[in-house]
Structure 1
Amino acid sequence: MGKKIAVVTGGAAGLGFELVRGLIEQGWMVNTIDFDDKRMAELDNRFDAGSYKGYVGDITDETFIDQAFSSIGATGHIDLLINNAGQPSFKVPTAYVGADVDKCLKGLKGMVLCCVAALKADGEEHLKIANVMSTAATRGNANESVYCAAKWGEKGYTESLKAAYKGSSVKVVGVYPGGIDTDFYKESHDYVSVDKQHSFMDAGELAAVILRNLVYEENLTVSDIRIDRNYV
């Protein structure tokens, strides 16, 4: 029996990288999609070709996504899609400009394109989709108005997919993590200080918790995963 096949977007660094590494350690064949060509080259050298394949490109490029999933689907059945890619923009409400809106909405557009491509590749059968969002999809945050808007949109899409595939072998999971100690906040240290960032969750520990709730043998589905950091 061959390895189970996963696709992880935004898998070059941070939480995405830890999810990729965790799945490989559990014996999966992991396909990663990310636009960071330098970091993806490092992953090519780090992981064995029998367990990993990288696709460098933009998740909002429909042609690229269709080609990537066609290539992945040709190797076997896609068992798991983890939509993790996204970009932040944390500012006071009056500081936002159109480019910030476009940046935040890339995650939503990519999520939709990847879900559609995965569902088409597998004939809408026996596929688990995990959409990694943020606790920003569950509340409003003062300096994250546009980011929250994008995440609320992703949550709406996720809930709609659940409704569309209720009772089928397609399972959809919403993942809502709190702050993570990664470079995600590197452009926002006026809002998230380095000291505050280092009080956030460890990406490796978070990935382990997420995967425990996504990958298991029991005949059940964990449909929502919310993980908050311990406040000190």
Structure 2
Amino acid sequence: MAMQSNGKNIAIVTGSALGLGYELARQLIAEGWFVAGVDFNAERQTELEGEFGAESYKAFVGDVSDEAFVNASIAEIAELGHVDLLINNAGQPSFKTPTAYEAADVDKCLKGLKGMILWSVATLKADGEADLKIANVMSTAATRGNANESVYCATKWGEKGYTQSLKAAYKGTSVKIVGVYPGGIDTAFYRDSHDYVSEEKQHTFMDPAQLAGVILFNLVNDANLTVSDILIERNYV
């Protein structure tokens, strides 16, 4: 069955199955958007299509850093109409001491950067480089160095460099680029790193639903302005 946006604004959210990505998708849909959700979790994607309905959500299952998958997905999404918003949210962590990192960890962290570039390029081409907002969700790790996150920080700094370069390239146009830098979020993102971030510590981090609300409040509004960088830290109380 062909997708139908029914005249709704169209957003692409990568990493939409769980955590912050899920909340971004859910809250956009609640505001009347059509969301093309991208994630490698096929089982969860099937659940979300049932939860949101075909009129509001279409699941794309694959690796965000796979160029063939990206281009095929964008071609299908573009049949709906103009994409208004791309949220590059997908990414994977790797928290280790500096000497514990291996090539596989580097490749894992680089998937987020590669995916960010591929989805941005493909969406810009599909939209004719016009009337598009791209929000790149990174981390406060893109703003500083952290002792046990050397490779993770390196890729996040790369994402920040890409984001800043897009801003320079599209300055003064109808393409708007937003860098989003959240601190720790209470999600399963840390499930493989509890030796570094304990579950107890994880639960002191930001609530993903609240964080999504703050991001979208700044990202999607009727004001004739753009919040170009969103740095969000949790309250220490």
* Superposed displacement of residue 226, structure 1: 0.4
Q: Aligned partners of 2:51 and 2:149: how far apart in 1?
A: 35
Ranges in structure 2 where 5+ consecutive residues have no aligned partner:
1-5
Q: Aligned partners of 2:189 and 2:68: how far apart in 1?
A: 27
Q: Does 1:112 align with 2:132?
A: no
Tell me the secondary structure at the aligned position of residue 84 of structure 2: strand
Letter in 2 for 1:28: W
Q: Which stretch of structure 1 is more off in the superposition, 40-49 or 124-133?
A: 40-49
The structure 2 residue matched to 1:95, chosen from 100, 105, 129, is: 100
The aligned counterpart of 1:194 is: 199
- Flag as ranges the 4+ runs of structure 1 deviating above 6 A: none
The aligned counterpart of 1:44 is: 49
The aligned counterpart of 2:212 is: 207
Q: Aligned partners of 1:73 and 1:231: how far apart in 2?
A: 43
Q: Aligned partners of 1:194 and 1:57: how far apart in 2?
A: 28
* Superposed displacement of residue 15, structure 1: 0.2
Q: Aligned partners of 2:224 and 2:7: how far apart in 1?
A: 21
The aligned counterpart of 1:58 is: 63
* Superposed displacement of residue 45, structure 1: 1.1
Q: Aligned partners of 2:56 and 2:41: how far apart in 1?
A: 20
Aligned length: 232
Q: Does 1:124 align with 2:120?
A: no
TM-score (normalised: structure 2) = 0.97
The aligned counterpart of 1:79 is: 84
The aligned counterpart of 1:146 is: 151
The aligned counterpart of 1:9 is: 14
Q: Percent identity among equivalent residues? A: 70
Q: Aligned partners of 1:11 and 1:51: how far apart in 2?
A: 14
The structure 1 residue matched to 2:38, chosen from 33, 36, 50, is: 33
The aligned counterpart of 2:3 is: none
Letter in 1 for 2:15: G
The structure 2 residue matched to 1:156, chosen from 149, 158, 161, is: 161
* Superposed displacement of residue 44, structure 1: 1.2
RMSD: 0.7
